[in-house]
């Protein structure tokens, strides 16, 4: 599936949930379904700067040039948000990650229903994912 297909899938899932309390519950469920990150990755180097809660993020790239993200957070809503980002960007090339317009965030109303500190954290998570993509992209061009 393309990044666009994955975003549309999330938009469609949220379209069936009207109440924001129910949407938050769904986001929490997504976070609970996120595979656990290896404890060896819960280091200061993997902490995302700019998040109020602690969020650890790591990325690898496979032999086919596809990125794989893993993450965890000590906040249940944030863990759900990073889970959505991973579901959209996982298994795509660094260039696809860099080119992605993550419009689903606005389309489902997430941005307007987050506190300012959570919004800053969301932007920091996206920035870190793109920094990983940029690093992998530069390695591929050498």
pLDDT digits (tens, 9 = 90+) for 18-77: 899 999 999 999 999 999 899 999 999 999 987 778 999 999 999 999 999 999 999 999
Is the pTM for the entire model greater than 0.85? yes
Q: What's the sign of the alpha-carbon dihedral 53, 108, 20, 17? A: negative
Q: How many other CB atoms are found less than 10 A from the CB of residue 89?
A: 23
Are the CB atoms for 101 and 88 separated by under 8 Å? no
Residues taking part in catalysis: 51
């Amino acid at each position: 599936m393309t990044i666009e297909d994955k975003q549309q899938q999330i938009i469609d899932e949220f379209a069936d949930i009207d109440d924001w309390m129910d949407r938050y519950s769904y986001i929490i469920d997504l976070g609970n379904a996120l595979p656990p990150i290896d404890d060896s990755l819960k280091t200061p180097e993997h902490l995302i700067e700019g998040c109020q809660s602690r969020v650890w993020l790591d990325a690898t790239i496979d032999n086919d040039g596809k990125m794989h993200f893993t993450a965890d957070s000590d906040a249940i809503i944030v863990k759900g948000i990073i889970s959505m980002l991973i579901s959209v960007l996982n298994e795509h090339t660094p260039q696809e990650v860099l080119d992605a317009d993550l419009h689903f965030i606005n389309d489902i109303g997430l941005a307007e229903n987050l506190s300012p500190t959570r919004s800053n954290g969301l932007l920091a998570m996206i920035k870190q994912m793109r920094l990983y993509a940029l690093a992998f992209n530069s390695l591929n061009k050498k």
